[in-house]
Amino acid sequence: MALIKISNLTKTYNSTAVPVHAVNNVSLSFEKSEFAAIVGPSGSGKTTLLNLIGGLDTPTSGKIIIDQTDIATLSESAMIDYRLHHIGFVFQAYNLIPVLTARENVEFIMLLQGISKQERRERAEELLTSVGLEGRFDSRPSQLSGGQQQRVAVARALASRPNFVLADEPTANLDSHSAEALLDLMEALNQKYEMTFIFSTHDSRVMKRAHRIITLVDGRVDKDETKK
C-alpha cells in the first residue's frame, strides 16, 4: 500500500481576475523509502503541491491519503497535530529559532510532542551527531554556517520520527560543497532508515541524486520518471 496517495488534487487561487490553477487535477502516489524530486519551472506548482502534501495548504478539491488518513478532511487543530507527529519539514530558509542552541532547536518539536527531557536530549544529540555536528550542540544559529544550519534543520525534521520528510528547495541557499554534503546526508538517511524524502527543487544537483523525478508544467504532471 502506498505511503501517500494523491487523487485528482486541485488548488485554485481566485484572488486574481482570472482563477489560477496552481495544482490542476494531479494524481500521484509515493511508496515508503522513496527519494523523489518534484521539479518544474517557476510557477509550475511544485511548492504548492509540497505544501498540500504537508497540510500547510488546503486543496480546492481532491484527496491526499497519507497512511490511510485523508488529511484534506482534518480540522485545522487535527492537521497541526498530524503534522507534528507524522511529517518532517526542511525549508529553504532553515527556520531555526535564533535564541535556541542547535540541541534546543532539535528538541523543540519533541517538547511539543510531550517527550521526556532525557529522551529529548539523547535523541537530539544522536541526530546532531548523525548529521556531523558533534561538538556544536550548544552553538546558536548565528554561530553556524549556512550548511551547518541546514543540517540542524534536517536533524529537527527527523526528531519527531516522521513518516516522511518534505524538503522545499533545501539547497537553494548553500554553496556547492555544502549542498553536496547535505545531499550525501539525506541519501544516507534515506538508505539507513528507509526514510522517504520528497523534494521541491530546480537544483540540478538534487535532480541528479533523486531516484524519481516528477515534472510539473502549469500545475499538471508532465512527466513521472523513475531512474533504473
**Hunting for cell 518539536 — which residue is that?**
109
Confidence of residue 145 (pLDDT cuts 50, 70, 90): very high
SS3 at position 183: helix
For the stretch 173-224, pLDDT in tens is 888 888 898 899 889 889 888 889 999 999 999 999 999 999 999 999 999 9
Q: How far apart are CA 35 and CA 190, in angstroms?
A: 7
* Percent with pLDDT over 70 in the chain: 100
Domain residue limits, the chain: 4-92+159-226
**pLDDT at site 94:** 81
The alpha-helical segments, DSSP class H, found in the chain are: 46-53, 76-86, 102-113, 117-130, 146-159, 176-193, 204-209
Q: Determine the topology of domain 4-92+159-226 in CATH.
A: Rossmann fold (3.40.50)
Handedness of CA 227, 66, 92, 143 (dihedral sign): negative
Contact, 208 vs 176, CB < 8 A?
no
Select from 191, 193, 146 the least CA-distant residue to 171: 146
**pLDDT at site 26:** 97
Q: Which of 12-26, 81-95, 198-212 has the highest mean pLDDT?
A: 198-212
For the stretch 34-50, pLDDT in tens is 999 999 988 899 999 99
